[in-house]
Structure 1
Amino acid sequence: MVGAGRGQVTGLVTAAVLVLALLNVAQSVFVPLAFAVLVIALVWPLQAALQRVMPRLVALLITLLVTIIAVVAVGSSIAWGLSVLGHWLFLNAGRFQTVYIDWTQWLEEHGVAIAGPLSEQFNVGWLVGLLQGAAGRMNSVAGLMLVVFISVMLGLLEVEDFKRRLLLRSVQPQGAMILEANFRIGAKLRRFMAVRTFASVLTGLVVWIFARFVGLELAAAWGAIAFALNYIPFLGPFIATAFPTLFAIAQFESWQSAVFVFVGLNLIQFVIGSYFEPRLTGASLAISPFAVIFAVFFWSFMWGLPGAFIGVPILICLIEYGAQVPATRWIATLLSGNEGSGDGGN
């Protein structure tokens, strides 16, 4: 019995490793699929409501148009912010070089040596190349979105047929369990994204006001970047805080001002992320903070920037599906922050 149990565990671990390897190697297939499923879950209520009063294809066209507008609004904000940032950086890169040299000399005077290659690399060309790399990633994301929208279009046309197949007697009781889990996942994902959008808008607005108050240049760009990056838990707010701090060092040429900017931006992120968001999401979306951090970093490792964005929605799906199966219900309970999440019905 012990040997059989060990063999079963070994088989499960081997299967899990193979599945994860497949997800990583074939990410060009699975990343658009995962995003398409997320978008379908978010916009299906709109599609269902519209097709009750108009032809199905017309409703689909309106739903896709609304979806494109929403995605373009988020993508354009960060693209515009990076373009403004790149132009300012090209014109003012000498400030960074001067500050870097001054700080290097100060550190060397106090016994901290800076490696030579790092000093040679920190120049205008390196900074421009960094922004070009970010622009290239944005272009790859744009190509991903095209595939996603095609998948969403086809998926929305099949949702009702898929529901009917799940209700067939031949697929019970698994069909009913999947249908119930899908319903609950859709509701949770829509609430999660609604709260995340509100928090992102609020974060961008407050960051813009704060940047103008302290006299930080490119205040509108920092607000737009903070708005877009706030959709990525932990990593997004960290980047949205680190970059303005670095620019504050070059602009004000004072570490005291940079520290004030750093503390102010982190305070904004902390208040909105740790106070407002948990109260808006409520207990039904409570997830272990460690599970959220792990999901963001793990899916970032697997799929890059798209993985960081979709990591938490994938975690929500895993928790909900796990809560439907008695054998994995304990895992869902550990991953969630709600003690009653393991009953599969709350």
Structure 2
Amino acid sequence: MAADRALKTMVGMMLVILLSVAAQQASSVLAPLALALFIIAIVWPVQRWLQARMPKLLALAITIIVTISVCMAFASLAVWGFGRVGRSLVADAGRYQALYNELIVWLEARGFSLAEVWADYFNVSWMLRVLQHLGGRINTALTFWIVTLVYVLLGLLEVDDMRRKVEALRNPETARFLLTGAASAAAKFRRYMLVRTLMSALTGLLVWVFAWATGLSFAAEWGVIAFVLNYIPFLGPFIATLFPTLLAISHFDTWQAALGVFVCLNVIQFVVGSYVEPRVAGNLLSISPTVVLFAIFFWTFLWGLFGTFIGVPITIAILTICGEHPSARWLADLLGRPPDKAIKRAV
């Protein structure tokens, strides 16, 4: 028996590794599909409510328009905030150049020469490569969202048909497992986005209050930027603290004040993002905060920036499906479900 369990464990680990490699290699196909399923799960209650009161195609058109409008609203907020701040940074380019020159003189007086490093690495060819890379990333992102939108359109049209097909399966237990797991995962997706939105709003509010209290320019813009970027774990908060610090360098007279801005903004991001949000999300979604953190790193490794955003929902779906199947329920109890629920089930 012990040998059988060890063999099953080894096979399971190998299967996980193979699936991870396959997910990484097929990211261009699987990533848009994963995002489309996530969007469908969130907007399906709207689609279902509308199509009960009007033709299905009209309900679909309204749902898609609302979905696109919400995404465009978030993008517009980011463009508005970064646009106003960017114009200020460009206007203060002379000030930043002077600060840079002072830094060069200070470092060279202590034996550090940045001029040679800048000439060797940060030259015109490097800048052209960066611009080409950014252009390629923008084209890839546009293609990604177009493919995702097509998946969402087709998926919303087929939700009812797919449910009827699953209900018609010969094995009632399999049908129940699939339907219950999908419904539970979709409900958790919606709760996850609710928690994420609330925490992003809290972060944006705290950043705005801090910027306003310290007299930092563009307090409202920094709050909006922090709100939008907080939907991207780790990388978004880092950007939301870096740019206010750059502005603080030219806004305040001492580097200690700019360092204080950087530290305080990181404290806000840390408390909300690394302490409050994982615990709130873990309680509502029955996921350990450690698993939430691991999911972010793991899916970021597989799918990059998109994996940072979608990693936790994918993990939610996996644990939810495991919790609905008797043979895999132990995994959901170990990593996802609170101990009291596991005890009640055992009793």
Bin for the TM-score computed over the shorter chain:
0.7 to 0.9
Equivalent residue runs for 1:89-238 within 5 Å: 89-106=89-106, 116-118=116-118, 137-138=137-138, 140-238=140-238
Q: Deviations over 1:44-69 (max 9, x none)?
A: 11111111111111111111111111
Gaps of 5+ in 1: none
Bigger Cα displacement from structure 2, 70-79 vs 274-283: 274-283
Shift of 1:120: 6.3
- Residues of 1 paired with 2:270 and 2:51: CA distance? 42
Tell me, yes or no, if structure 1 residue 330 matches structure 2 residue 330.
yes
CA distance 1:273–1:73, change in 2 (3 Å): same
- Residues of 2 paired with 1:145 and 1:7: CA distance? 42
In structure 2, give the amino acid aligned to 1:102: E
The residue number in structure 2 matching 1:68 is: 68
Q: Deviations over 1:198-244 (max 9, x none)?
A: 32233224323432433333434422321111112333223312332
In structure 2, give the amino acid aligned to 1:188: K
Shift of 1:343: 7.5
- Residues of 2 paired with 1:330 and 1:250: CA distance? 56
Tell me, yes or no, if structure 1 residue 257 matches structure 2 residue 271.
no
CA distance 1:279–1:100, change in 2 (3 Å): same
- Residues of 1 paired with 2:135 and 2:227: CA distance? 18
- In the alignment, is the contact (CA less than 8 A) between 1:93 and 1:124 conserved in 2? no
Fraction of identical pairs, as percent: 45
Tell me, yes or no, if structure 1 residue 53 matches structure 2 residue 75.
no
Bigger Cα displacement from structure 2, 127-136 vs 84-93: 127-136
SS of the equivalent of 2:231 reads: coil
Bigger Cα displacement from structure 2, 218-227 vs 20-29: 218-227
- Residues of 2 paired with 1:160 and 1:340: CA distance? 35
Tell me, yes or no, if structure 1 residue 246 matches structure 2 residue 246.
yes
Tell me, yes or no, if structure 1 residue 18 matches structure 2 residue 18.
yes
- In the alignment, is the contact (CA less than 8 A) between 1:323 and 1:344 conserved in 2? no
- In the alignment, is the contact (CA less than 8 A) between 2:232 and 2:308 conserved in 1? yes
Gaps of 5+ in 2: none
Q: What TM-score do the two structures reach when normalised by structure 1?
A: 0.84
- Residues of 2 paired with 1:2 and 1:221: CA distance? 60
**Cα RMSD between the aligned structures?**
3.4
The residue number in structure 1 matching 2:302 is: 302
CA distance 1:258–1:126, change in 2 (3 Å): farther
The residue number in structure 2 matching 1:313 is: 313
Q: Deviations over 1:291-340 (max 9, x none)?
A: 22221122112111111111111111122112223333333233237224
Tell me, yes or no, if structure 1 residue 266 matches structure 2 residue 276.
no
The count of corresponding residues between Structure 1 and Structure 2 is 345
Q: What TM-score do the two structures reach when normalised by structure 2?
A: 0.84
SS of the equivalent of 1:170 reads: coil
Equivalent residue runs for 1:276-291 within 5 Å: 277=277, 281=281, 283-291=283-291
CA distance 1:169–1:135, change in 2 (3 Å): closer
Shift of 1:163: 1.4
In structure 1, give the amino acid aligned to 2:207: V
- Residues of 2 paired with 1:229 and 1:335: CA distance? 28
In structure 2, give the amino acid aligned to 1:210: F
- Residues of 2 paired with 1:89 and 1:125: CA distance? 24
CA distance 1:7–1:198, change in 2 (3 Å): closer
Bigger Cα displacement from structure 2, 39-48 vs 258-267: 258-267
In structure 2, give the amino acid aligned to 1:62: I
Shift of 1:109: 5.3
Q: Deviations over 1:242-295 (max 9, x none)?
A: 332233234435221112212332343345446764686572324222222221
Shift of 1:150: 1.2
- Residues of 1 paired with 2:46 and 2:163: CA distance? 17
- Residues of 1 paired with 2:344 and 2:141: CA distance? 36
Shift of 1:33: 0.2
CA distance 1:303–1:72, change in 2 (3 Å): same
Bigger Cα displacement from structure 2, 234-243 vs 39-48: 234-243
- Residues of 2 paired with 1:54 and 1:214: CA distance? 52
In structure 1, give the amino acid aligned to 2:224: A
Bigger Cα displacement from structure 2, 89-98 vs 224-233: 89-98
